[in-house]
A = this chain, B = another copy of it.
Amino acid sequence: MSTVAFIGLGLMGEPMARNLLKGGHIVRAFDVRTDAMTALANEGAVSADSPADAAAGAEYIFTMLPSGKEVNQAVFGENGFAQSMNENTLFIDTSTILPADTDEISAKLAANGRKMLDAPVGRLAQNAIEGTLLFMVGGSESDLENARPLLNLLGDEIVHCGAVGMGARMKIVNNYQSTALNILTAETLTLAEASGLDVKLAIKVMSETTAGRGHMSATYPKQVLSGNIEPGFMIDLAHKDLGLALETTAALRTPAFLGAAARQAYSIAQSKGQGRKDWTSVYITLKQLAGLDT
């Protein structure tokens, strides 16, 4: 049984704190909205006056806050918990914040011999309730092993992504794809509907092609990531086919923000001489645009 501070009792934080409580730990809870602490207090948690107060005597400090600004404030602000930590305390930030903010906070803590994991979560509120979150963890092996029994109360999958900051980075990468893909999907289904198709049939068809299954499980591992850019499907054809699709969206007046942008990338790949390579080789083109070695 450990003493655990939990700061930030929102949609995600409250059920997470509750699962720690259910796991038999002493939970010292804090939220700037004092009424957010009531329910947990009724279930046995200690309501704290400040982050520093929550962290008093705690072996573990969890934060689940909206942005880097609030995390920074909770750690280093007036009544922040930095003053309550010692070299044995482990701070675990589960918020989704800018990697640059994580780097700044962890560097300041490390300079004073304080330990930190960044451990943002995948999945949704329902998973927080059920204790089936996915953690993307940045930090040392030993700190992760130290935290693992607690994380196991909150989630059912823990991915060690590298040193401190790498959990935050993995979360950003995941969010980039999922939030943009959501818009792309909405564009595609709008095109399906405007075309007079049965939208559910369209989804059924796409569920059996790269369109719906995603390229990550399908084309990328077999092609460019394994060093093979012989064409399964050529960039020249992708450029042509997307051109037909855009001409159709223009005729139907359906939004094609992402498709229009995507075609530019194929054009660049073509002018770099990649036109007859596999469509996954745009990855090489984009890495060149980013100035990465390829």
- The B-contacting residues of A in range 206-229, CB under 8 angstroms, are 206-217, 219-221, 225
Contacts of A261 in B (CB 8 A): 183, 257-258, 260-261
Contact with B along A179-202 (1 / 0, CB 8 A): 111111111111111111111111
Tell me whether B241 and A179 are in contact (CB under 8 A): yes
Contacts of A204 in B (CB 8 A): 159
Interface residues of A in 110-151 (CB under 8 A from B): 122-126, 134, 136
Count of chain copies: 4
Q: How far is the CA of A254 from the CA of B214 in the complex (A)?
A: 21
A43–B288 Cα distance when bound, in Å, is 46
Distance of A187 Cα from B178 Cα, bound (Å): 12
Tell whether, in the assembled complex, residue B289 and residue A242 are in contact, meaning their CB atoms are under 8 Å apart.
Answer: no
B residues in contact with A157, CB < 8 Å: 208
Tell me the bound Cα distance from A213 to B273 in angstroms. Answer: 31
Stretch in contact with the other chain, from A14-22, A75-83, A275-283: A275-283
Residues A236-294 near B (CB distance < 8 A): 238-245, 247-268, 270-273, 279-280, 282-283, 285-287, 289-292
Contact-residue size bin, chain A (C-beta under 8 Å from the other chain): 35 or more
Residue on B with the closest CB to A259? B180
**Residue pair B192, A251 in contact (C-beta under 8 Å):** no
Q: Are B205 and A136 in contact (CB under 8 A)?
A: yes
**Within 8 Å of chain B (Cβ to Cβ): is A2?**
no
Q: Give CA–CA (A247, B57) in the complex, Å.
A: 37
Nearest chain B CB to A15 CB, angstrom units: 15
Contact, CB under 8 Å: A205 / B289: no
A51 within 8 A of B: no
Shortest Cβ distance from A106 into chain B, in angstroms? 15
CB pair B289–A219 under 8 Å, yes or no, is no
User: A180: which of B159, B184, B193, B271 is its contact (CB, 8 Å)?
Assistant: B184
Q: CB of A13 within 8 A of chain B?
A: no
Residue in B67, B169, B219, B285 whose CB lies within 8 Å of A195: B169
**Are A283 and B186 also in contact (CB < 8 A) when A214-B213, A251-B100 are?**
yes
Q: Are A290 and B205 in contact (CB under 8 A)?
A: no
Give residues in A with beta carbon < 8 Å to B.
67, 96-100, 122-126, 134, 136, 157, 159, 161-162, 166, 169-170, 172-217, 219-221, 225, 232-233, 238-245, 247-268, 270-273, 279-280, 282-283, 285-287, 289-292
